[in-house]
Every structure is written in structure tokens, then in C-alpha cells.
A and B are shown apart, each in its own frame.
Chain A
């Protein structure tokens, strides 16, 4: 009850201070505009992808006649559906892109020029909701809280409050909550507007993600508000409290994520694009680890197929051996890719785990992880997309190679063409984004760290101010 009175009084201050009120309204306006534009961009992107996907499918289905192998090189493109929450946090999408080419022999790479920084993405330079939620609102909270206790102490008002029977801890916690609630209010407004704009597309998965996103930000706002109130109580002047918190903000949001990401890359390095391609090419021609080179594999396959069909030469085969060779080569290429991609995934997983540990010294890292993760736009979700595209590519190419091999042509006949019915029968790519229940476990550690920081803040507020001077 007492705490509620203090919170109410703090909100009175906010409501009756014209400057703060003006800043708040201005900020809410910017926030709404950002949410609206972010949502518009997300919807337009989804629409563009849908149009392009439909167009590409139409092109594919309109192929009258074509050699299946030519069709494999003709290929197609697939688009990663935009997650509904992209408008709130677009995560790694800005650097990984959402379009992949599906073609015979050619797998999509994961090592992009910038994608090696997929754990930590700076939001600066783009007016997105995540920029406001992760960087600007925390700054507002710091500015609101840095004078909260010192201001009371300076005028002797803290004595009056304590004389009314209020406990110092109640004052500190109430001040923290009042500031934190301001941030949560802005967050709530942002999410509410976003939900209202997308009311028809909301499902339980999105609701769950939104709720967890909301919780993560709320924890972070509590941590920042609590620490600022703590410094306001402990330091003997407001400048020191403000400087301390601005320092923490800079270290947490700008300095540490970059330093940590550079260190993580050094500890768990990813191969360069060139090295990755060269190793793939080498393993494909010389065989994995130097065993079973391409020419030996080819000879063994020829003997096996001839034996299977009881033929003496390729010309006697009732099928097109070229299709079998291409599929065999494709499957060997897949093996090579699995090996190399597996190594990459392992390195990326190690990078992610080590980076997550950074949350021990910097809760902002945990917030960024959960924000991108629950928005469905982090490294994990992108890798899932890559895997699904690769799986589709394999089925797609196998269908074309099988048609080439068993569709009625003979070995060496590259002019043979499959008809339109066949091309229509080839299934289109359908992406199933990971559901929250399947990815939640990857973010539990981040949530635990945010809780740990919240607890640490509460301990500091309660026990770290015991010796605080009231006078």
C-alpha cells in the first residue's frame, strides 16, 4: 500500500511535469511511427516475397519442355517468410538476407561477409522498434531515475518520508518500480499497437513469443531502473549517479557486445568464404579426407550399374546413366556439404553458447538474444531456414536427376526433354518456421541470466543501501 502510494506520487510527478510529459508524448509518437513503419515494411516485404514466389512458381509451371538437367541449373529461388514479429526486431535478417537460390550442385553458403557476426547485431543507424526498445528507452529510464533518491535526500524529504513510517527499502523498490513501469508502459504500448495492426495474423505461437519478449524487456528495464536508483542512493551527488549509469549503458550496449563478439570469433573461428569453398571443392573432387576420389567413384558406379542391368556397355542400358552419375555426384556433394556445414554449425553453436555466457557480465547480451530469438529472427532461426532449403534442394534435384535417368532417355542423350506435366508435379518449397516450444530451450539460459541480474539488482537495493546516509 505504502509502495503503491510512492509509485502513484512518482507518476503524478511525471504527469505534471510539462517537459517530461512533452518528451513522453513525443517519444510515444516516434514509437508509434516506428512500429507502424516497421509493420508496413514487414507486410510489404511479405507481399513482395509472395508475389515473387508466385511469379517464380508460375515460371516453373510454364516450362513446356526442358531437359531435367537444364532445369536443375535453371533452378529456382526460395524466400524466407517474414516472421510477424520482424517489425519489432528484425535480428540478423538485415545481414543474412531472406532469399536463397536452389540449383543443382550448388549449396547455399552460411559464411557471408557479415554473417559471421550473427550473434551480435548493432541496431544503430536504423530507426527500428528494437533500437528504441533496447537503446533509447533504457536511456530515458536512466534520466528518470538518476535523481530519484538523491533528490529526496538533498531536500531532507527522505527524513520526512521515513518519519511517516516508510521503510527505506520500500522507497527504493517503489522508486525502481515507478521508473521501470514507465519503460514497461512504453513497451506495452509498442506491443499493443503491433498486435492491433496484426490482429488477424496472431496465433498462440506469436502470442507466446510476444509474452516472452515482453518479459525479457521488463526484466532488463527493472535491472536498469534498479541500478540507477541504487547509484542515486549510494553516491553523494547526482552527477556521479548519472555518469556511472551512462558509463554502464555505453559499456553494456556498445563496448562489451563488440568486444565479446570479436573474442568469440577468435575463440571459435569460422573459415573464410574462400577457404570454405576451396575445402568443399577439394573434398568433392579428391574425396572426403583424400579417400575415394571422383574418378574412382565414377568407375565403380559404372560397373555397379552395368552389373545391375546385365549390360556390357553404357549404350546397352535401358536408362540414362548420366542421370545416375549426376545424382551420385549430388549425393556425394551433399555428404561433403554436410561435413563442412556440420563443422560450421558446430562452430556457430559454440559461438552462440560462449556469447550467451557474456550475459553473466552484461544483461544486454541476454536481452538481445531473447529479443532476436523470440522475434524469430536470430541465427538459430536462420540456420533452420538454411537446413530446410537444403533439404528441399536435395529432393528437388533428385526428382530432376531421377527424371533424367529413368524418364525414358538413353545415356548421352542430352537433347531429351521432360514435359510440362512433370514440371508441374515438382513440389514447391514450403517453409515451416520453428515453433516456440521447439526453440524455447535455446533461450532459457538468457532468461535465467536476466532473472539473475534482476535478483542481483534487488539484493543491491535491499542490502547495498543499509549503510546509506539519510542525513
Chain B
């Protein structure tokens, strides 16, 4: 579903992505590990069609993400580090608004069902988002993608700043989505969470994919050592 072949991207002479090649198939979760500035967000922005690669190809479902951005976005869900919703609207109203922008007019009960599926407690559905925690906002963000029936989920540091319970709930949700056939790419620097959630892990350093491995091949401790080694060298 996600196919990046030899993509490179520079900003004012600084290479953000260098000859990056990776694929993520349906039902798979790929975790991209890397320090700040490693190119994780640039990779996601290229997949979202907000950045065009200088060379190479970036495709989702065999469609070029920069030239067919509008079509690609139809089945892509994006969950940023901070899901910034409209604070004066409730969770349900936010979801309704984003759905309507996508041309989807769901009845209220269905909107609430999406929110519940994504883990938002029923009593919070009608509360204003200004009173939500970061984890709750993230759940609404996932619900927006879920209601859109996204086939590809792109998450940029989703677990950053979440409390352990919210982080666990997020992991469970991602696994559930993958089991339903979703393709998920998650950028993070949380080694333990990535190992726990993802099927495969890629380590990005200065825009290049320096290591790719299966999660089950390594323990959390081994992954940490490996990651730190790459970061040091």
C-alpha cells in the first residue's frame, strides 16, 4: 500500500531524506524510529502530498502522492503529535464537521459509535474539546480517520506526551485497525512503544533508513542498544 522508492528531499541544501526506500503492506504497522530531524515528519509529509520528493517516487496504493494528492488523501488518515481540534465544539461536533468536509453525513448515533470504537468514553462525546486531555483528542483524531474509512494511517509521534493508560489504549487501537486491514506507518522516538505495536521497525538517521528489522526478532533492550548505537555513530 505504501511504497517509497529511492526518495530524496532537501531543504535549502540540507538533505532531509536520502534515497529512502520502504514499503508497508495492508494490515502491517511499520514504526519509524529516529531522533528529532531524522526525517520522520518529512517522510509523512511526502506521503500526505504536502511535500514533493526531489527524486525517487512516493506512492500510496500505486498513486503518486504529490501529483495525485487529492485522490490519495481520500483514503489516508493522519494523526499528528497534537491533534488540534476546534475547542468550542464537542467531540461529536468535531467529528461531524470533519466528516462533512469529506462529504460524509453520518447520523449522530453513528458518529458516537465511531468515537466509542476509537475509545472515547461516552460521557465525553458531548463535552467541549477544550476540556479534553491529549489522549482524548487523539482518539477523536483517529475517529476522524476511521469514519473516513481510511485505509492508510500515518501517525507522527502519536504517543508523545500520553500517560501510560492512554498510550496503551492507543496501541490497542492501532493493532485493532491493522487487524482490520489498515496500513499504518508510525513515526516515533519511543522505542518501547514502537516495538510493542509495530510489526516492522525502521531506523532513520539523517534522512536515510539505516536499519530495518522485524519487531519479534529483537527484545526491547536489544532494540534500545541497537538504536543508541546508530544514533551515536
Chain A residues near B99: list those with CB within 8 A. Answer: 164
Q: How far is the CA of A12 from the CA of B100 in the complex (A)?
A: 15
Residues 134 to 171 of chain B near chain A (Cβ within 8 Å): 141, 144, 148
Question: Which chain A positions have C-beta within 8 A of B230?
Answer: none
Chain B, 25-66, CB within 8 A of any chain A CB: 45, 48, 50-51
State whether A471 and B45 are in contact (beta carbons under 8 Å apart), knowing that A155-B82, A162-B73 are contacts in the complex: yes
A106 at the B interface (CB under 8 A)? no
Q: Is B132 an interface residue (CB 8 A)?
A: no
Those of B74-99 within 8 Å (CB) of chain A:
74, 76-78, 80, 82-86, 88-89, 93, 97-99
Whether the pair B76, A163 counts as a contact (CB closer than 8 A) is yes
Bound complex: CA A160 to CA B148 (Å): 12
Q: B164-198: contact bitstring with A at CB < 8 Å (1 yes, 0 no)?
A: 00000000000000000000000000000000000
- Residues of A within 8 Å of B68, CB to CB, are none
Q: Which residues of A contact B107 (CB under 8 A)?
A: none
Task: Give CA–CA (A18, B221) in the complex, Å.
Answer: 52
Residue of A nearest to B88 (CB): A16
**B74 contacts across to A, CB distance below 8 A:** 165
A166-B84 in contact given A159-B48, A160-B144 (Cβ < 8 Å): no
Given contacts A165-B73, A470-B50, A160 and B88 within 8 Å (CB-CB): no
- Chain B residue, CB-CB nearest to A155: B84
Q: How far is the CB of A144 from chain B (nearest CB, A)?
A: 15
The distance from the CB of B70 to the nearest CB of chain A, in whole angstroms, is 7
Complex Cα distance A155/B144, Å? Answer: 16
Taking the closest CB of chain A, its distance from the CB of B144, in whole angstroms, is 7
Taking CB atoms and an 8 Å cut-off, the chain A residues in 1-58 that contact chain B are 1-2, 5-6, 9, 12-13, 16-17
Is the beta-carbon distance between B84 and A157 smaller than 8 angstroms? yes
Note all chain A residues with C-beta closer than 8 A to B88: 12-13, 16-17
Contact indicator A165/B50 (Cβ below 8 Å) = no
Q: Report yes or no: B50 in contact with A166, Cβ–Cβ below 8 A.
A: no
The yes or no answer to A464 lying at the interface (CB within 8 A) is no
Whether the pair B86, A9 counts as a contact (CB closer than 8 A) is yes
**CB pair A163 B48 closer than 8 Å:** yes
- Which chain B residues border A6 with CB–CB below 8 Å? 101
For B51, the chain A residues whose CB sits under 8 A away are: 471
Contact partner of A165 (CB less than 8 A), chosen from B80, B82, B103, B141, is B103
The answer, among B78, B97, B144, for a CB contact under 8 Å with A5, is B97
Tell me, yes or no, whether A161 is within 8 Å of chain B by CB: yes
Quick one: closest B residue to A5, CB to CB?
B100
Q: Is the CB of B86 within 8 A of A13?
A: yes
Q: B97-113: contact bitstring with A at CB < 8 Å (1 yes, 0 no)?
A: 11111110000000000
Q: Shortest beta-carbon distance, B114 to chain A, in Å? A: 14
A164-B84 in contact (CB<8A):
no
Answer yes or no: A97 CB below 8 A from chain B CBs. no
Given A12-B89, A165-B103, A156:B80 Cβ within 8 A:
yes
B100 / chain A contacts, CB cutoff of 8 Å: 2, 5
B101 touches A166 (CB 8 A): yes
A159 touches B78 (CB 8 A): yes
Chain A residues at the B interface, C-beta cutoff of 8 Å: 1-2, 5-6, 9, 12-13, 16-17, 155-157, 159-167, 470-471
Chain B residues packing against A (C-beta within 8 Å): 45, 48, 50-51, 70, 73-74, 76-78, 80, 82-86, 88-89, 93, 97-103, 141, 144, 148
Q: List 12 A-B contacts (CB under 8 A).
A: A5-B97, A9-B86, A9-B89, A12-B93, A155-B82, A160-B98, A162-B73, A164-B102, A164-B148, A165-B73, A470-B50, A471-B50
A-B contacts besides A12-B89, A159-B78, 20 pairs, CB < 8 Å: A2-B101, A2-B103, A5-B97, A5-B101, A12-B88, A13-B88, A17-B88, A156-B82, A157-B84, A157-B85, A159-B48, A162-B50, A163-B76, A164-B101, A165-B70, A165-B74, A165-B101, A165-B103, A167-B70, A471-B45
